[in-house]
């Protein structure tokens, strides 16, 4: 019995070490992303680009929401890092370095990547909620709940882009084809994460 207990202790210690390492790595990545956004915002302020400075400041504030709104947990770490990384790639690469204008595919990658992250966060939230309430949600209900939520939020984002374009300050939507390709990219990111989740869930039940 003793060798078995010793082996279990080693496995548990390894698990906690890996978990702590992952937490530290996530915290460092989150900090780097926030510093990147902040430095770009300050450069825009210095160059008197007040419109983009306000946009950057808004995204920077958005990265702080998970840390303020969520209790300390795995969900907060995942949400905090995911949102910070997504906002950083949008502000630093997309807007500041002009990737949206220079590379047409970058916008589609961001839509797919953003939708994938959003879907992953929704899955994690539903799983954590079910564990907290101590009940099991049928897999097909879980699937359609996450799928419907992700698609709805992607559609709301397109509506937001349309609304912003009406102000004349930005040109986020470049015609019907661009909008439809954005929706296709959103759906692709959502489906990829959902298929990975379903496959992982199926393997765990074998």
Question: pLDDT digit string (tens) for 70-83?
Answer: 888 777 888 899 89
Q: 10 Å Cβ neighbour count for 6?
A: 10
Q: Which residue has the higher pLDDT, 43 or 150?
A: 43
What's the rounded Cα separation, in Å, for the pair 122 and 129? 10
Whole-model pTM?
0.80
Mean pLDDT of 24-40: 94
* Model confidence pLDDT, tens digit, residues 126-177: 888 888 788 877 877 888 888 888 888 888 888 888 888 888 777 777 778 8
SS3 of residue 135 by DSSP = coil
């Amino acid at each position: 019995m003793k060798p078995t207990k010793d082996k279990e202790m080693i496995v548990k210690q390894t698990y906690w070490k890996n978990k702590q390492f992952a937490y530290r790595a996530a915290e460092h990545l989150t900090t780097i992303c926030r510093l990147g956004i902040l430095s770009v915002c300050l450069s825009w302020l210095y160059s008197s680009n007040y419109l983009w400075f306000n946009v950057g400041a808004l995204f920077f504030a958005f990265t702080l929401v998970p840390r303020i709104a969520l209790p300390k947990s795995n969900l907060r770490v995942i949400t905090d890092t995911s949102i910070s990384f997504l906002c950083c790639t949008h502000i630093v690469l997309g807007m500041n370095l002009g990737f949206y204008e220079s590379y047409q595919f970058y916008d589609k990658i961001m839509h797919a990547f953003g939708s994938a992250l959003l879907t992953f966060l929704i899955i994690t939230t539903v799983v954590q909620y079910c564990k907290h309430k101590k009940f099991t949600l049928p897999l097909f209900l879980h699937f359609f709940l996450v799928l419907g939520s992700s698609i709805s939020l992607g559609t709301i984002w397109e509506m937001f882009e349309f609304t912003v374009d009406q102000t004349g300050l930005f040109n986020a939507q470049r015609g019907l084809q661009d909008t439809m390709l954005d929706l296709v990219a959103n759906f692709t990111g959502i489906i990829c994460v959902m298929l990975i989740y379903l496959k992982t869930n199926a393997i765990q039940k074998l």
